[in-house]
Amino acid sequence: MTNASTAPGVRIGDLTVVYKTQAGELPAVSGVSLELAPGSITGVVGESGSGKSTLALSLLNAVQSPGRISGGSVEIDGLGDVVGLRGESLRKARGRHIGYVFQAAQNSLNPLKTVGKQLLDLGRSHGVDDLRGLVREAKELLGRMGLDGARVLDSHQHELSGGMRQRVGIMLALVLNAHLVVLDEPTTALDMITQATILRIIREVHEERGLTTLVITHDIGVVAEVADRLAVMYGGRIVEQGPTGAVLGAPSHPYTKGLIKAIPRLVGSLDEARALPGRPPTLATVPTTGCVFRERCAERMDVCDSDDPPALAHGDRIVACHAVGTSEPAQLQEEVA
């Protein structure tokens, strides 16, 4: 946790975000509480539709219609509760305080304008007076990420590879000197070597600039590489969170266990790896009462059908599962024995 003096802390409290559908307003994020410690990298991992991008957008109060934040708060040091921000103050906060790299950033640049032009547009829209300084800063950041800054600023999107575009996205998120950075699927669609390069850059820039960083991904490997803390999402809930190594090494929630077992691995027996039965829920199929994961759960009990498990602290973990706490002491004994 370096440079904690500049890095803001973030406290997401009981956040609920709903989308209007034919079946009424349905929650994509339900009662999520998550704290991002100043200077930390937090990884949110979950399958498609689990609510990751919606959660990330809430940090900027940028959930678009037909969605809306229907409850809870997002407190950011230096900004207050962004759920209450509107208009100009909200627009200023984005970019200046919170840098955001959208999912599929590889394709989100304007194809008709050079990167440099887009940089100047960004500066102007945020009332930057010293545009030369902005360009200098951008070149330095690009150079820092192993690119020829001048060349990249003169390029159009189609002249850049996927990995280069991703780095341009990171530059644009950081160039206004934001200290809270949200990266949504920063390496999806990149190959392994490029992914490893981007992840190393994210870590280094995070340290050097003193950031608080949130990384959203469907890939546990990505979180394992960069994040200090890990939060696992399923059906709009955070079902487990804790220190990355601890969660991966000894997962508590049956979903986390299943997900880790389902990862194709380079070493070890092929038979140990197993797909999870069933399929991830969609807005329409997420159960409204009881545990969201019960239909795919190996440890399902009667109470899981009726009661939504609360997120409770268990040692270094926060877990939302009726079976955790009852089964944990047994595991501990096993380990001791």
Partner 1 sequence: MITGQAITKTFKQRGNVLDSREVRALRGVDFVIPKGGAASFIGESGCGKTTLGRIIAGLESHDTGEITIDGTAMSSLRPRDRQPYFRRIQLIHQDPYSALNPTRTIHQTLNAPLALRAKQTGRSRGWMDERAQEVLSLVGLDAGSVLGRYPHQLSGGMRQRVVIARALTVDPEMLVADEAVSMIDVSLRLGILALLKDLRERLGVSVLFITHDVATARYIGDDGELYVIYRGQVVERGPVDTIISGPVHPYTQSLLSAIPVLHGLEEPGAQPVVPTEALDESHHDEGCLFARRCPFRTGKCESEVPVLGLGEGIPQEHACFHPERRAVVAQPAGR
Amino acid at the residue 255: Y
Q: How far is the CB of 56 from partner 1 (least distance, A)?
A: 18
- Asked if residue 265 binds partner 1 (CB under 8 A), the reply is yes
- Asked if residue 210 binds partner 1 (CB under 8 A), the reply is no
Give the CA-trace dihedral at 306, 310, 313, 314, to 10 degrees: 10
Classified as helix, coil or strand, 6 is coil
Q: Cite the DSSP H helix spans in 175-312.
A: 192-209, 220-226, 244-249, 254-261, 302-306
CB contact set of 316 (below 8 Å; sequence gap of 6+) = 242, 243, 246
- Asked if residue 51 binds partner 1 (CB under 8 A), the reply is no
Q: Which of positions 180-219 make contact with ligand ADP (CB under 6 A)? A: none
Phi, psi angles (nearest 5°) of residue 86: -140, 165
**Cα(52)–Cα(237) distance, integer angstroms:** 10
Rounded to an integer, what is the distance from CA 189 to the centroid of its chain? Answer: 17
Given Mg ion, ligand ADP, partner 1, none, residue 246, with its beta carbon under 5 to 8 Å by kind, binds: partner 1
Place of tokens 């939302």: 320
Please identify which residue in 23, 112, 267, 336 interacts with partner 1, judged by CB under 8 A: 267
- Asked if residue 53 binds Mg ion (CB under 5 A), the reply is yes
- Asked if residue 100 binds ligand ADP (CB under 6 A), the reply is no
- Asked if residue 49 binds ligand ADP (CB under 6 A), the reply is yes
Please identify which residue in 125, 177, 282, 285 interacts with ligand ADP, judged by CB under 6 A: 282
- Asked if residue 246 binds ligand ADP (CB under 6 A), the reply is no
- Asked if residue 50 binds Mg ion (CB under 5 A), the reply is no
Q: Which of positions 127-146 make contact with ligand ADP (CB under 6 A)? A: none
Interface positions with ligand ADP (CB under 6 A): 19, 21, 28, 46, 48-54, 66-67, 282-283
